[in-house]
Structure 1
Amino acid sequence: MRRAAVLAKGALAAHACETIAALPGTVLDTVIPNAVEPDWDVRLSDYAAEHLPEARILRSGDWRDLEPGRCDLVFSVLYDKIIGPELIDATSRIINCHPGRLPGYRGVRPVNWALRNREYLHGITIHVIDAGIDSGPILAEAVFSIWPDEDEVRDVWDRCMRHGRLLISDTLPRLDQIVPRPQEAAGAVTHFSRDNAALSDRSDWTRELSAGRPGA
C-alpha cells in the first residue's frame, strides 16, 4: 500500500486529497495545510478533518514535520514553503502543482506576472520537485487562453483552478506511466517576492485594488 501526503491550501488541494484517497493501492496518510490559510478559499484543515478522517493533519504547516521516508508520494499544491532536500531525497515521488507555465513563470505570483506581461496564454503545471524553484521535469500541464485587456488577476486565478482540477484528476492516476519531460533552460524566468513592486497595477486581485495600494 502506497502512503501519500498532501502539503497545500484551498479547494484545489481538497480536490487533490480526494483524488489521492480514491487511487487504488494508495492511502492518504498525512495532510499539511499551510500554516496561514486564506479566508477566501476552502480551509484545508477543516475540510480534511470533516471529509478525510483517516488522514492525520499536521497543523504546523511545516514540511519538516513529515518524517522522511514515511510517504511514497508527496504532492505540494499551492504550498507556501520551499521543500528541502531532507524530504526530497527521501521520497520516491515528490511533485508540485504550480499555477503557471514553465519554465517562463517559475516562482511567486505567476498569474499576476502573466497579465503584467500581457500574455494571451497561461497554464497550470504538475512537475517533479527538485532542488531548484519550480525547475523540475514536467509531468503534465494545461494551457488556456487569457485576455489581458479584460481579465483581472482573480479571473485568471479562477480559470487556473478550474483547469487544475481536471489536470489533477487526469494526471494522478497515470503517474506511474508518465515519463517526466525536462524543462528547457532557455527562457527560464523565476519571480521572487522582492520583485512584486514591478507588478504595478497587477499586484492585487483587481487593478482597482492595486491602484489603492501605496506605491502601486
Structure 2
Amino acid sequence: MRRAAVLGKGRLAVHACRTIAALPDTVLDTVIPNAPEPEWDVSLADCVAECWPDTRLLRSGDWRELEPGRCHLIVSALYNKIIGSSLIDATDKIINCHPGRLPQYRGARPVNWALHNGEYLHGVTVHVIDAGIDSGPILGEVQFSIWPEVDEVRDVWDRSMRHAQHLLSDVLPRLGHITPRPQGETKAVTHYLRDSDQLGDRTDWTRTASNMP
C-alpha cells in the first residue's frame, strides 16, 4: 500500500486529497494545510477531519514534520513554503500543481502577472518538484483563454482552479506512466513576492472602478 501526503490549501488541495483517496493501493496518510489557512477558501483541515478522520493532520503547516521516506507520493497544491531537499530526495514522486504556465510564470502570483502583462492565454501546470522554484520537469498542463480587458484576478483564479482540478484528476492516476519533460530555460521568468508592488492595479482580486475599461 502506497502512502501519500497532500500539502497546501483550499478547494484544490481538498480535490487532491479526494483524488488520491480514490486511487487503488493508495492511502491518504498525511495532510499539511498552510498555516494560517486563508479565510476566503474552504478549510483543508476541516475537510480532512470530516472526510478522512484516519488521516494524520499536521496543523503546523511545516513540511519538516513529514518524515522523509514516510510517503511514496507527495502532492503540493498551493502550498506556501519551499520544500527542502531532505524531503524531495527521499520521496519517490513529489509533484506540484502550479496555477500558471511554465516556464514563463514561475514563482508567486502567476495569475496577477499574466493579467498585468496583458496575456490572452493562461494555464495550469503539474510538474515534478526539484531544488528550484517551479523549475522541475512537466507532467501535464492545460491552457485556456483569458481576457485582460474584462477579467479580474478573481475571475482567472477561479477558472484556474477549475482547470487545475481536472488536470490533477487526469495526471494522478497516470503518474507511473508519464515521462516528465524538461522545461525550456530560455523562456523562464520567475516572479517573487517582493516584486508585487510592480503589479499596479493587478495587486488585488479586483481593480478599482476608476481603472476599469
Q: TM-score, length-normalised on structure 1?
A: 0.96
Q: What corresponds to 2:35 in structure 1?
A: 35
Shift of 1:156: 0.1
The answer to whether 1:12 aligns with 2:3 is no
Contact 1:201 1:210 survives alignment (8 Å)? no
Identity of matched residues, %: 72
The answer to whether 1:200 aligns with 2:200 is yes
1:62-211 → structure 2 map (5 Å cutoff):
62-208=62-208
Shift of 1:36: 1.0
CA distance in 1, matches of 2:151, 2:116: 11
The answer to whether 1:48 aligns with 2:48 is yes
Change (3 A) 1:116 1:93: same
Give the 3-state SS of the residue equivalent to 1:61 in structure 2: coil
Shift of 1:83: 0.2
Shift of 1:194: 1.0
Shift of 1:210: 11
Contact 1:125 1:140 survives alignment (8 Å)? yes
Contact 1:97 1:125 survives alignment (8 Å)? yes
Change (3 A) 1:2 1:187: same
CA distance in 2, matches of 1:122, 1:28: 31
Which deviations, in whole Å up to 9, do the C-alpha atoms of 1:42-73 show, x marking residues without a partner? Answer: 10000100011121100000000000000000
Aligned structure 1 segments of 4 or more residues deviating by more than 4 angstroms: none
Shift of 1:94: 0.4
Aligned residues: 211
CA distance in 1, matches of 2:210, 2:35: 26
CA distance in 1, matches of 2:186, 2:206: 31
Q: Output the aligned Cα RMSD.
A: 1.1
